Amino acid sequence: MKYDVIVIGGGLAGLTGAIRCAEAGLKTVVVSAGESALAFASGAIDVFGIEKDNALVEFPFAAIRHLPSMHPYQKVGTGSLQQALTFFTGQMAAAGIPLNNHGQQNHGRLTALGAIRPAWLSQEGTVSLPLRTSTEDLRRVAIINIAGFRDFQPALMAAGMQQQPGFCEVEFILADIKTETLNINTRNAYELRSLELSRTLKRDLFSQPNGMNILSSALQKAAGNADLVVIPSVLAVEGGNDLIRQLETLTGLRICEVATLPPSLPGMRMASALKQRFRQLGGMFLEGDQVLSGCFEEHQLRSLKTRLNPDMPISASHYILATGSFFSQGLASDRHHMTEPVFGLDVETSQSRDQWSDSRFMDGNQHNFSHFGINTNEQLNPYRNGQKINNLYCAGAVLNGFNPVQEASSGGVAISTGWFAANRIIATMPQAEETC
Amino acid sequence: MLNIIDTSFDNCIKCTVCTTRCPVAEVNPDYPGPKQAGPDGERLRIKNPALYDEALKHCTNCKRCEVVCPSGVQVGTVIQLAKARHDGFKKGPREFILSHTDMMGSLSASTAPVVNIATQLKPVKKLLDKVLGIDQRQTLPKYTYQTFRRWFKQQKAQQTRFDRQVSFFHGCFTNYNDPTVGKHLVAVLNAMNIGVTLLKKEKCCGVPLIANGFFDKARKNAQLNMGQFADTLADSECVLATEPSCAMTLRDEYPEVLHVDNHAIRERILFAAAFITREFAKGNKPGMKPLNLRVAYHSPCHLIKQGGVIHTMELLNSIPGLDVMMLDQKCCGMSGTYGFKKENYQTSRNIGQGVFDQIEALNVDYVVTDCQSCKMQVEMNTAHKVMHPLTLMAQSLI
Ligand SMILES: Cc1cc2nc3c(=O)[nH]c(=O)nc-3n(C[C@H](O)[C@H](O)[C@H](O)COP(=O)(O)OP(=O)(O)OC[C@H]3O[C@@H](n4cnc5c(N)ncnc54)[C@H](O)[C@@H]3O)c2cc1C
Ligand code: SF4
Ligand code: SF4
C-alpha cells in the first residue's frame, strides 16, 4: 500500500506535521502505537521559557536567536517557528479550541503545584498571568477542589504559590465542594481520577437542566469574593473551555482551570482536537499499531513493517518519525547504549554512561539524557550508519540538541519541527497544493 | 478446563490507559474498567477465587483495552478467561438463543417470512422482552428466505471457471440474515479473476458463544472449522472472512481464548479487504467507474484490534469519486449480542452516542462500516443508511 506520507507517532509533533500534509492534499497516514505525551501535558504550549541560568524568558522569539546551532529552533529558524505556531493556532481554532497568546511575549500559567511556568499559548479556560506576577489586582485567590478528588491538593498549590514573590501577600481561600452538593453519585471518590470524574459530572450533573446552576452556586459559595478562582481541570475533555466560560458568566468570577496529575484533560482535549482535524482533512489515523522496522535502499526508506500487519509492508514517498522520547519509546537505552529502536538511526549521546544523568535526580540540575536524541542535518533528515536518509524527517521529542524540560520548549519544538518536516515534504511533491 | 494460568498479565505497568479507553467504563459506573477487572483482579483471583468480581459480566470483549495497552497485556482475553474459570457468565435460554446463531439461523431460515413478521410485531417483542429479556426497543435482524449457501449453489459452476480460487468463510449473518455482502464479495473477486468456493461445512466462528460463555461449544466449532480449513486450503489460496469479528476470532481468539492451535494456517486466514488490497498492490485491480458519493467510515472495534482498518480504507480510497471521511474511532456499543439484552440496552446506546453524534453532525450520503452489528446499531440510532465497503465496490465495478 502506497501513500504520499506516513507519519510514525501521533503526538503533538506527528499530528501537526500530518495535518499540514493532509491540508496540502497529500495522502497521509499516521501510525501511532498508543497514548502520546499530550495525555500528561498541561494543554498549554511552551515555546522557550527558561534560560540556561534559570532566568525566565520574557521574549521567546528573540531569545532563541542565541541558542547553539544544533538546537532544533536553529534548524527550522524563527520565521518557520512563528509560521508553524500561527498554523497550529488556526488548526486548533478550527477544531473548536481557541488559544490565547500575547504577541512576542510569554505569559505565566499556573501549575497544580502553585508554580508559574512561562508559556506562549494557553487555552481559554485558563487565566494567563503576567510572568512575574504583581499582586496589584490579586488580593484573594480561592482554590477549590471537589471533595475526595485526590489528584489535586489546594493546600499544596497554595503553599507553592506563596513561595512566588508576587503572591506572598495574597489571601488564600481553600475549599472543597461536596459531591452531595453536586448530586453526583461517586460511590468511592478515592477511585476517581480526572477523566472518571468528568464522566460522572457529565452523567449526574451536566445532564440535569439546572446542572450548571448547581455548580455555579456551589462555586460562588466556596469562593466568596475571590479575584481569582482556581479549580482542577475535571469538568470535561471536549468542550471544557466552554464550560469554564459559562461558569464565569453565571458566577461573575474569574475562573482558571489547572491541569491535574495525569490524565490531564486539557492535554487530552488538545490531542482529540488534533486527531479530529486530521480526519476532517481526509487523513487516516491508525491507532494501536506500531512500526517495528523499515526497509532501506539507497539512502531511502522504502517501506515499513508494523506489528498488526507484519507481512504487508506499507510504503510512502516520504516519512516523518515523531515517536517521542524515552517514555513514548521513541528512544531506548540499556546500560551502555542509547538507541532509536525502530530504524536504528544514529543517536547523539556524546558522553559516557556515568554522565548521562545527575546523581541527584530532582535537585533542579538538568540531566544530560534529556538532551539526547536523533542527530539530524539542517533539514531534519537523520543518519543511519553515518548515511543520511533523504526521505525521512524527524520531529519532536525524538530529536537531539535541546532540553525540553529545562528550557520549557517542548511544545514549540514539537509543533515547529513537525510543521517544518511537512513543509520540506510538500516542497518536493508536485501534487501538493500550496496553501500557506 | 483452562487450568493453566498465564501470568503475562503481570507485564502491566499500571498506567490506566486501558481504563481511559474502555467504552463500558466510560458510561457504566458499575464496571471497574479493564485495569481492575483484568491484570489487577487476576492477582487477587489467583490467590482466592472468592475475590472474583461479579462486575466482569459488563465487559463486552471489544478489545479496545488491548489495542491501547503499551505493555501488550491481553486484557480482554484475561477477563473472558476469568469469567469462564469463575462461572461468571449468566447462561439462560436467552443467552443460548442469542449466541447459537447458526442453530437459530437454520431453524429460522426455512420459515423466514413468518419469523421475520413475528419478530417485528409488538406483542412478540413484548413477549421476548418479558420472558427472555431481549430488549423490545431493538429491531431484531431479519432472516433471509434464501440462505447464502443456497444462492451460492447456483453460482458454483460459474466459479470453477477461474484458475485462481479462494475459500469464503461466510459466517452466520451472511448466510442466514443478509447474504448481500457475500454476493458482493463474489462479484468483486470475480471481477479480479478469482473464483470463490465455500467450505464443505462451516460452523459459527464462535464469537457470540465466547461472549456468552459457551466456551466448550465454541471450542468444538473451532475444531470443526480448523479441519475444514485444512481441507479447503489444499485447493484454494486462502480463506477469507468479511465479518471483522469472524476474522479476528478465527485468527486470534482460537489460539488465545479457546486454545485451539491455528499457527500452521493462520497466515492464510484473512480479512477479505486485506486480501483484496494485497491484490491491488500486485496490480490486480478491477475496472471501476466513479461513484460520486461522500461517506463517513466507522471502524469496528474488532477490525481495529486486528489492524484491518488500513485495508478497508485502502479499498474505499481506490473507488474513484468516493470521498471518504474517517470517523473518530469510537465504539458503537452494540457488541454483537450485548446490545440486545434488556439490561444492556441503555448502556449500549450511551456507548454509541459518541458515534451517533458525529454522524448526525455530518453531511454525508452514507455511513460505511464492515461489521453487521455496527450497521444495525447505527441504523437504529441515526437517520443514515449504512453500507458495506464491498457493496460500494461492487456498485463501482464496470
Ligand atoms: C508530563 C508532561 C508535561 C508536559 N507539559 C507540557 C507543557 O506544559 N507545555 C508544552 O508545550 N509541552 C508539554 N509537554 C510536551 C508536549 O506535550 C509534547 O507532546 C512533547 O514534547 C513530545 O511530543 P512528540 O509528538 O514529539 O512525542 P510524544 O507525545 O511522546 O508522542 C509520540 C507518539 O509516538 C508513538 N510511538 C512511539 N513509538 C512508535 C512506533 N514504533 N510506532 C508507532 N508509534 C509509536 C507513541 O505511542 C506516541 O503516541 C509535556 C510532556 C509531558 C510528558
Ligand atoms: S474488552 Fe472492551 S469492554 Fe472489556 S475491558 Fe476491554 S475495553 Fe472494556
Ligand atoms: S494499559 Fe496495559 S499496562 Fe496500562 S494499566 Fe492497562 S493493562 Fe496495565
Report DSSP letters for B75-113, one per residue: HHHHHHHHHHHTT-----HHHHHHH-HHHHHHHHHTTHH
pLDDT at A350: 59
Is A326:A347 a contact under the CB 8 Å cutoff? no
- The answer to whether residue A435 scores a pLDDT higher than 70 is no
Helix B345-360 vs helix B372-381: angle between axes, to the nearest 10 degrees?
80
Cα–Cα distance measured from residue A117 to residue B261, given in angstroms and rounded to the nearest whole number = 56
HSE-CB at B161 with a 13 A cutoff on CA atoms is 8
Chain B residues whose CB is inside 8 A of the A236 CB are: none
pLDDT at B106: 63
- The answer to whether residue B105 scores a pLDDT higher than 90 is no
- How many beta carbons lie within 10 A of that of residue A51, not counting itself? 13
Cα–Cα distance measured from residue A330 to residue A14, given in angstroms and rounded to the nearest whole number = 12
- Nine-digit cell string for B70: 503499551
Cα–Cα distance measured from residue B355 to residue A431, given in angstroms and rounded to the nearest whole number = 33
Cα–Cα distance measured from residue A238 to residue A192, given in angstroms and rounded to the nearest whole number = 19
**Which residue blocks in A185-283 are alpha helix, DSSP H?**
194-201, 211-223, 240-251, 265-280
pLDDT at B55: 87
- The answer to whether residue A105 scores a pLDDT higher than 50 is yes
Nearest residue in B to A307, CA atom = B307
- Banded model confidence at residue A364, pLDDT cuts 50, 70, 90: very low
Q: Which residue has the cell 460452523?
A: B203
- β-strand A373-374 against A383-384: which pairing, if any? unpaired
Cα–Cα distance measured from residue A10 to residue A33, given in angstroms and rounded to the nearest whole number = 8
HSE-CB at B205 with a 13 A cutoff on CA atoms is 31
Q: Which residue has the cell 556515568?
A: A354
Which stretch of B51-55, B250-254, B314-318 has the lowest confidence by average pLDDT?
B51-55
Sign of CA dihedral A146, A147, A149, A152: positive
Is B298:B323 a contact under the CB 8 Å cutoff? no
Q: How far is A185 from chain B (nearest CA, A)?
A: 9
Q: How far is A190 from chain B (nearest CA, A)?
A: 13
Ligand 2 in reach of B24 Cβ (< 6 A): yes
- Which of A276, A292, A308 best tests the B interface by mutation, with the highest count of B CBs <10 A? A308
Q: How far is B67 from chain A (nearest CA, A)?
A: 5
Largest CA distance in chain A: 69
pLDDT at A363: 47
Q: How far is A76 from chain B (nearest CA, A)?
A: 32
Name the residue among A99, A184, A110, A109 with its Cα closest to residue A143. A110
Closest Cα to atom 4 of ligand 3: B15
Given an 8 Å threshold on Cβ–Cβ distance, is A276 in contact with B328? yes
- β-strand A284-287 against B366-368: which pairing, if any? unpaired
Which has the higher per-residue pLDDT, B15 or A381?
Answer: A381
Which has the higher per-residue pLDDT, A408 or A166?
Answer: A408
The string of DSSP letters for B113-145 reads HHHHHHHHSHHHHHHIIIII-B-TTSPPPPPPS
- The answer to whether residue A280 scores a pLDDT higher than 50 is yes
- Which of B269, B275, B326, B363 best tests the A interface by mutation, with the highest count of A CBs <10 A? B326
pLDDT at B127: 61
Cα–Cα distance measured from residue B185 to residue B205, given in angstroms and rounded to the nearest whole number = 19
> What value does the mean pLDDT take over residues B1-15?
71
**What's A260-307 look like in SS3?**
CCCCCHHHHHHHHHHHHHHHHCCCEEEECCCEEEEEEECCEEEEEEEC
Which stretch of A23-32, B204-213, B238-247 has the lowest confidence by average pLDDT?
B204-213
- The answer to whether residue B397 scores a pLDDT higher than 80 is yes
> What value does the mean pLDDT take over residues A374-383?
96
Measuring from each residue's beta carbon to the nearest atom of ligand 3, which residues come in under 6 Å? B 12-18, 34-35, 38-39, 69-71, 73, 75
Given an 8 Å threshold on Cβ–Cβ distance, is A279 in contact with B69? no
> What value does the mean pLDDT take over residues B146-164?
91
CB-based contact, A282 to chain B, within 8 Å = yes
- Which of B20, B271, B279 best tests the A interface by mutation, with the highest count of A CBs <10 A? B20
> What value does the mean pLDDT take over residues B368-397?
94
- Nine-digit cell string for B2: 483452562
Nearby residues of B139 by Cβ (< 8 Å), 6 or more positions away: B120, B376, B380
Buried b (16+ CB within 10 A) or exposed e, A298-322: eeebebbbbebbeebbbbbbbbbbb
Residues of B with CB under 8 A from a CB of A: 16-17, 20, 25-27, 29, 67-70, 267, 274, 277-278, 280-281, 304-307, 309-310, 313-314, 317, 324-329
- Banded model confidence at residue A212, pLDDT cuts 50, 70, 90: very high
Interval A30-41: pLDDT, tens = 999 878 899 889
- Banded model confidence at residue A245, pLDDT cuts 50, 70, 90: very high
- Banded model confidence at residue A370, pLDDT cuts 50, 70, 90: low
Q: Which residue has the cell 467450505?
A: B199
- Nine-digit cell string for A142: 480561592
Which of B29, B68, B314 shows the shortest C-beta gap to A35? B68
Residue A210's φ and ψ, nearest 5 degrees, are: -100, 15
pLDDT at B87: 76
Indicate which ligand has the atom closest to the C-alpha of A60.
1
Q: Collect contacts of A186-194 with beta carbons under 8 A, ≥24 apart.
A: A186/A148, A187/B29, A189/A147, A189/A148, A189/A149, A190/A148, A190/A150, A192/A148, A192/A149, A192/A150, A193/A151, A193/A263, A193/B16, A194/A149, A194/A151, A194/A232, A194/A233, A194/A234, A194/A260, A194/A261, A194/A263, A194/A264, A194/A265
> What value does the mean pLDDT take over residues B91-116?
64
Nearest residue in B to A285, CA atom = B326
- Nine-digit cell string for B48: 482466592
Given an 8 Å threshold on Cβ–Cβ distance, is A288 in contact with B68? yes
Cα–Cα distance measured from residue A182 to residue A309, given in angstroms and rounded to the nearest whole number = 48
pLDDT at B2: 46
Which of A34, A282, A288 shows the shortest C-beta gap to B325? A282
Indicate which ligand has the atom closest to the C-alpha of B16.
3
CB-based contact, A204 to chain B, within 8 Å = no
Helix (H, G, I), strand (E, B) or coil at A117: strand
pLDDT at A436: 42
Q: What is the mean pLDDT of chain B?
A: 86
Interval A313-331: pLDDT, tens = 999 999 999 999 887 889 9
Is B285:A1 a contact under the CB 8 Å cutoff? no
- The answer to whether residue B269 scores a pLDDT higher than 80 is yes
HSE-CB at A68 with a 13 A cutoff on CA atoms is 9
pLDDT at A112: 94
Q: If you ran DSSP here, which 8-state letter would residue A393 be given?
A: E
Residue A362's φ and ψ, nearest 5 degrees, are: -120, 30
The string of DSSP letters for B326-369 reads EPP----S-TTTGGGBGGGHHHHHHHHHHHHHHHHTS--SEEE-
pLDDT at B176: 81
- The answer to whether residue A84 scores a pLDDT higher than 50 is yes
Cα–Cα distance measured from residue A13 to residue A435, given in angstroms and rounded to the nearest whole number = 20
Cα Rg for chain B, rounded, in angstroms?
21
Cα–Cα distance measured from residue A147 to residue A149, given in angstroms and rounded to the nearest whole number = 6
Indicate which ligand has the atom closest to the C-alpha of A111.
1
pLDDT at B3: 47
Which of A29, A275, A288 shows the shortest C-beta gap to B67? A288
- Nine-digit cell string for B15: 498506567
Which has the higher per-residue pLDDT, B239 or A431?
Answer: B239
- The answer to whether residue A369 scores a pLDDT higher than 70 is no
Provide the β-strand partners of residue A127. none
Ligand 1 in reach of A290 Cβ (< 6 A): yes
Indicate which ligand has the atom closest to the C-alpha of B9.
3
Interval B50-73: pLDDT, tens = 888 888 889 989 999 998 887 789
Given an 8 Å threshold on Cβ–Cβ distance, is A199 in contact with B27? yes
Chain A residues whose CB is inside 8 A of the B71 CB are: none
Provide the β-strand partners of residue B196. B166
Closest Cα to atom 6 of ligand 3: B18
Name the residue among B241, B367, B366 with its Cα closest to residue B306. B241
Interval A138-165: pLDDT, tens = 889 999 999 988 899 999 999 999 988 8
Q: Which amino acid is at A274?
A: L
Closest Cα to atom 7 of ligand 3: B12
Given an 8 Å threshold on Cβ–Cβ distance, is B29 in contact with A307? no
Task: Give the distance (Å) from ligand 2 centre to CA of residue B61.
Answer: 5
Nearest residue in A to B67, CA atom = A288
Helix (H, G, I), strand (E, B) or coil at A390: coil
pLDDT at A187: 67
- The answer to whether residue A82 scores a pLDDT higher than 50 is yes
Q: What is the mean pLDDT of chain A?
A: 90
Is A283:A18 a contact under the CB 8 Å cutoff? yes
pLDDT at A41: 93
Cα–Cα distance measured from residue A104 to residue A125, given in angstroms and rounded to the nearest whole number = 21
> What value does the mean pLDDT take over residues B109-130?
62
Which stretch of A402-411, B1-10, B76-85 has the lowest confidence by average pLDDT?
B1-10
- In percent, the amount of chain B with pLDDT more than 70 equals 85
- The answer to whether residue A429 scores a pLDDT higher than 90 is no
